[in-house]
Structure 1
Amino acid sequence: MKAFLMHAGRDFDLKAPLPWNAEALVQDLELDTLFDAMADGDEFLREVARVALLTGGGNDIDTMRYRQAALQDSLRNPQAVRQIYGSVVGTITGRRTRGGLMWLGNYPGAILSRSVELLEAQVAGLRELRHLCEANAGRFRSPAFSTLFEMLQRELTDEYLQTVEGHLKELKFRDGVLVSAEFGEGLKARDYVLRNALAEHRNWLQRLFGPKQEAYTFNLHPRDEAGARALSELRDRGINIAANAVAQSAEHILSFLTMLRTELAFYVGCLNAHDHLEAKQEPTVMPDPSKPDERLYRFDGLYDVCLSLRTEKRVVGNDLAADGTLLVIVTGANTGGKSTFLRSVGLAQVMMQAGMFVPATSFAANVCDAVVTHFKREEDTAMNSGKFDEELNRMDEIVGHLTSNSLVLFNESFAATNEREGSEIAGMIVDSLLRHRIKSLFVTHLYEFAHSFVGRDPKRIAFLRAERREDGTRTFRIIPGEPLRTSFGEDLYGRFFPGEPLEDDKDAA
């Protein structure tokens, strides 16, 4: 049995290797906040969310839409999904809490005993799971959940489960074990075979009044430890094959339940995050992914989901329509929301490619081979290198992993040196990205760099600016606009030191 809730034809790999820049993505996009919201205190949900978002669905649009359909089912039926998940978790963890009898030893008798007990618990859990699926099947329309429900109803019929329970009852051997063997060389027994006892095939009247089966018997003295050990070894040889078969069956079912739990965990995590956002009346939408070789930006009301999850107030959203654009340069007032806007784009891209909803009222973009970030870092406390050297080293590593269908997000890159040198280096890097049709967003205060692209290629280059009203108020909206020479740092000075003139003003006075 297979779950197939994350991929149409294969299992979700919780141990899949993470992308080379996973740590940087988590740090720069502040993904830990989203992981925590999806986990809601459950470490297993957090791990599934972390792997699912960082590995995504690759650039496979079919996988993204497959997950989106399953997530839409989950959002329509949150209680049913949580009940199914809880049932699976209960069956798995119930097996671990049955305590000491599960770990009596590794000889055939002990293996058979604990495997039968485990299978009985699993069969009860599968029966409950099938009933939940039967009760909710009509409410789900996605290929993922429909296939799962049909498979469970087809393979876990009452007749099948009753047959399994009957076999498990027989395997407890309450009437003893019947084993046959042949004589081999030196009159040593060989070819042990586990047999069905005759009594198992006769009703109570036949057993009471029918002919008795002739057999040789002997009684073992209570203190005959060697004899008891010899009989135990004979019994174990007879049931060895059965013990292994039952143990393998139990492991097979456990493997299915574990995978089902893992794949359901992604949708439960999405429900948790959605609940947090819905409580704040923040909008969410299913994105519209397009082919990797297209160059598409189109969204309305896009906001930083992690910022929203950390604050009580709703977050300002932004709009953009830039189909065919390769480079977006964002400039403007300090603390105007530029970095927040950049993170919102990166987060939406990651969430879309994982098959999630995105924090917007509408969102469409081409899928990418990779989302790469180059954000400013703090000074190297170990003094192994300066900030500028560290920036160049990270850029060198990034270049070695880029493909033409990557998305690169720059946040105040190359600002650790002087304006002229930083602008020149940033310009050369962006020129190279443009030649290779690599999409990039660049938040910067480097006026020379930003201004050098004005008027060069309006169809492929767009300019945005953090909005600032005449009184200095920041709206945290990012609007179309070419770069200005100032970032209005004096507004911040006036906010923290009201009534105090700047040094230049004092000198002038």
Structure 2
Amino acid sequence: MKAHLMYPQADFDLDKPPPLHAEDLVQDLALDTLFDAMAGDDKYLRQVARCALLTAFDSTPEVVRYRQAVLRDCLANQAVVRDLYRLALDVLGLEQNIYLSFMTKYPSSIMHRSLKLLHLQIDLLRRLRRMADEQAGRFASEGFGKLFALIREEISDQYFAELQDHFEQLKLRKGFLVSARLGPLNRGVAYCLRRYPRPQGSWLKRLLSKKPESYVYEIAERDETGATALSELQDRGANEVANALAQAAEHITGFFAMLRTELAFYIGCLNLREHLSELRGDICFADVSPAGQYRQAFEGLYDICLALNMRRAVVGNDLAGDDRQLFVITGANQGGKSTFLRSIGIAQLMLQCGLFVPARQLRANLCDGLYTHYKREEDASMKRGKLDEELARMSDIVDHLSPRSILLCNESFAATNEREGSEIARQVVRALAEAGVKTFFVTHLHDFAHSLYEAPPAGSLFLRAERRDDGGRTFRITEGAPLATAFGTDLYAQVFTEPAAAG
């Protein structure tokens, strides 16, 4: 049995390794805040959320839409989905409630333990079946449709009837009935646990009929050797049954383990939605296109991690960037450029895995890799300077880029002087543009930005952080040519002038 809530035809792989640059993404995009909001205090939910967001670069539009439909069902039926998740947890917790001793290495003990586990599992399977019968009509997605249809088909009334019959037989009220045959050197082989034959005819006929010939050997009460030998015979007879029961219990446990894993992603999404509802933050499901189609348009996109940290709604931005592959963002210090860049990166990760995005409306293409090149503090080992470290990281990123990738650069190559940093940035960005890599570049290097504006590569769009005439920041990013100043005097006046005036 498969859950199929994450992929139409495959299981979600929680052990899938993250990309080599995963830690850079987590640091630069402040993703720990997002993971914490999805997980609460549940480490397992956090593990699933982290894996889902960082390993979704193989997604296709079909897979994304499949998950979006499942998530819409989850949002519309939150109580049912949470009950389903708790049911999976209950099944997985059963083994912890069954006493495990050293005797479990013996087949007869394994058989009794597995029988007890199966008996407990069956009660929860009945709950699952009732849930499928009662709630299936409320779900419209293909994913939940497959799941509930599979439950009704595999866990049928006939299935429960057969299990009940097996349970009655395996209670072994009359003791072990074991068959065997003689092998080489007259040793017993092919031991097999048998069910007692069903009585034939009326009780009177059975009472008066001649009993079949049999031979009985009784073991003395103090015959420890004989008791041990008898126990070994029972274990040999129970071996195949024990294996079958253990596999049956493991099969049920495996299904619920996968169900728990795939539902955990959607439970994390529901937790995140609750946080955003408290902040009155907008969400929408992205309109996704295949990688390489250069789609980038949105309304009201905001930095979800900033909103979660500040515990209030934050300023969103609009963009019409379809058919553009190079976005150069300039403007006033502390005007929202880095926040804008981060909002794009987080939204890209969220839409890749089928999660809703923090915007009123968003359209974007998928990518086969999202990379960040942010400025770092100087190398703590002091073996190389900041510029050397930046160049080394960019070289490593370029080795992994493809025309279907996205690169976010924040103040790259600002560790040297204006002239040298501009020349390095200019050559790197033009090469990326020629290769078709979608690039977002936040910079204060006016020489670099102005030269690109004068001779823009194909598909370029220049954006600028808004600044009011009085020096105030709106934290909105709009189209605009690069300016020769970052308005650092505004910050100077804010820090040193305003307090004095107030005094």
- TM beyond 0.5: yes
Secondary structure (helix, strand or coil) at the match of 2:249 reads helix
Q: Aligned partners of 1:151 and 1:444: how far apart in 2?
A: 54
Root mean square deviation, CA, Å: 1.8
Partner of 1:284: 283
Q: Aligned partners of 1:59 and 1:494: how far apart in 2?
A: 48
**Is 1:493 matched with 2:489?**
no
Partner of 2:61: 61
Secondary structure (helix, strand or coil) at the match of 2:440 reads strand
For 2:278, the aligned partner's letter is A
Answer yes or no: is the 8 Å Cα contact 2:59–2:353 preserved in 1: no
Partner of 1:473: 472
Q: Aligned partners of 1:98 and 1:57: how far apart in 2?
A: 41
Partner of 1:401: 400
Answer yes or no: is the 8 Å Cα contact 1:177–1:235 preserved in 2: yes
Given the two structures, how large is their TM-score scaled by the length of structure 2? 0.96
Q: Aligned partners of 1:288 and 1:220: how far apart in 2?
A: 77
Partner of 1:28: 28
Partner of 1:507: none
Answer yes or no: is the 8 Å Cα contact 1:304–1:343 preserved in 2: yes
Partner of 1:164: 163
For 1:7, the aligned partner's letter is Y
Answer yes or no: is the 8 Å Cα contact 2:178–2:234 preserved in 1: yes
Q: Aligned partners of 1:205 and 1:353: how far apart in 2?
A: 70
For 1:30, the aligned partner's letter is A
5+ residue gaps, structure 1, are 502-509
Q: Cα gap change, 1:220/1:423 in structure 2, threshold over 3 Å: closer, same or farther?
A: same
Q: Aligned partners of 1:170 and 1:210: how far apart in 2?
A: 26
How much has 1:100 moved relative to structure 2? 3.6
Secondary structure (helix, strand or coil) at the match of 2:5 reads coil
Answer yes or no: is the 8 Å Cα contact 1:177–1:197 preserved in 2: no
Answer yes or no: is the 8 Å Cα contact 2:169–2:195 preserved in 1: no
How much has 1:99 moved relative to structure 2? 3.2
Q: Aligned partners of 1:5 and 1:350: how far apart in 2?
A: 19
Q: Cα gap change, 1:206/1:381 in structure 2, threshold over 3 Å: closer, same or farther?
A: farther
How much has 1:219 moved relative to structure 2? 2.4
Partner of 1:415: 414
**Is 1:153 matched with 2:135?**
no
Q: Aligned partners of 2:36 and 2:288: how far apart in 1?
A: 26
How much has 1:166 moved relative to structure 2? 2.3
For 1:65, the aligned partner's letter is R
How much has 1:119 moved relative to structure 2? 1.4
How much has 1:251 moved relative to structure 2? 1.3
Partner of 1:107: 106
How much has 1:355 moved relative to structure 2? 0.6
Q: Aligned partners of 1:477 and 1:77: how far apart in 2?
A: 36
For 1:250, the aligned partner's letter is A
For 1:267, the aligned partner's letter is Y
Q: Aligned partners of 2:223 and 2:306: how far apart in 1?
A: 75
For 1:291, the aligned partner's letter is P
How much has 1:197 moved relative to structure 2? 1.6
Deviations 1:145-166 (A, max 9, x none): 0011011011111221131132
Secondary structure (helix, strand or coil) at the match of 2:83 reads helix
**Is 1:215 matched with 2:218?**
no
How much has 1:168 moved relative to structure 2? 2.5
Q: In terms of mean alpha carbon deviation, does 5-14 or 128-137 score higher? A: 128-137
How much has 1:184 moved relative to structure 2? 2.8
How much has 1:43 moved relative to structure 2? 0.7
Q: Aligned partners of 1:82 and 1:186: how far apart in 2?
A: 61
For 2:381, the aligned partner's letter is A
For 2:372, the aligned partner's letter is T
Secondary structure (helix, strand or coil) at the match of 2:452 reads coil
Q: Cα gap change, 1:474/1:279 in structure 2, threshold over 3 Å: closer, same or farther?
A: same
How much has 1:256 moved relative to structure 2? 1.1
**Corresponding residue pairs, total:** 499
Where does 1:42-81 land on structure 2 (aligned, <5 Å)? 42-56=42-56, 58-81=58-81
Q: Cα gap change, 1:495/1:169 in structure 2, threshold over 3 Å: closer, same or farther?
A: farther
How much has 1:487 moved relative to structure 2? 0.9
Secondary structure (helix, strand or coil) at the match of 1:262 reads helix
Q: Aligned partners of 1:296 and 1:474: how far apart in 2?
A: 28
How much has 1:331 moved relative to structure 2? 0.8
Answer yes or no: is the 8 Å Cα contact 1:120–1:165 preserved in 2: no
5+ residue gaps, structure 2, are none
Secondary structure (helix, strand or coil) at the match of 2:453 reads coil
**Is 1:98 matched with 2:105?**
no
For 2:414, the aligned partner's letter is A
How much has 1:104 moved relative to structure 2? 3.2
Partner of 1:385: 384
Partner of 1:257: 256
Deviations 1:42-66 (A, max 9, x none): 1111111111110115241111111
Q: Cα gap change, 1:455/1:96 in structure 2, threshold over 3 Å: closer, same or farther?
A: same
Secondary structure (helix, strand or coil) at the match of 2:318 reads strand
Q: In terms of mean alpha carbon deviation, does 388-397 or 122-131 score higher? A: 122-131
Q: In terms of mean alpha carbon deviation, does 386-395 or 209-218 score higher? A: 209-218
Secondary structure (helix, strand or coil) at the match of 1:9 reads coil
Q: Cα gap change, 1:388/1:457 in structure 2, threshold over 3 Å: closer, same or farther?
A: closer
Q: Cα gap change, 1:84/1:166 in structure 2, threshold over 3 Å: closer, same or farther?
A: same
Answer yes or no: is the 8 Å Cα contact 1:194–1:238 preserved in 2: yes
Partner of 2:351: 352
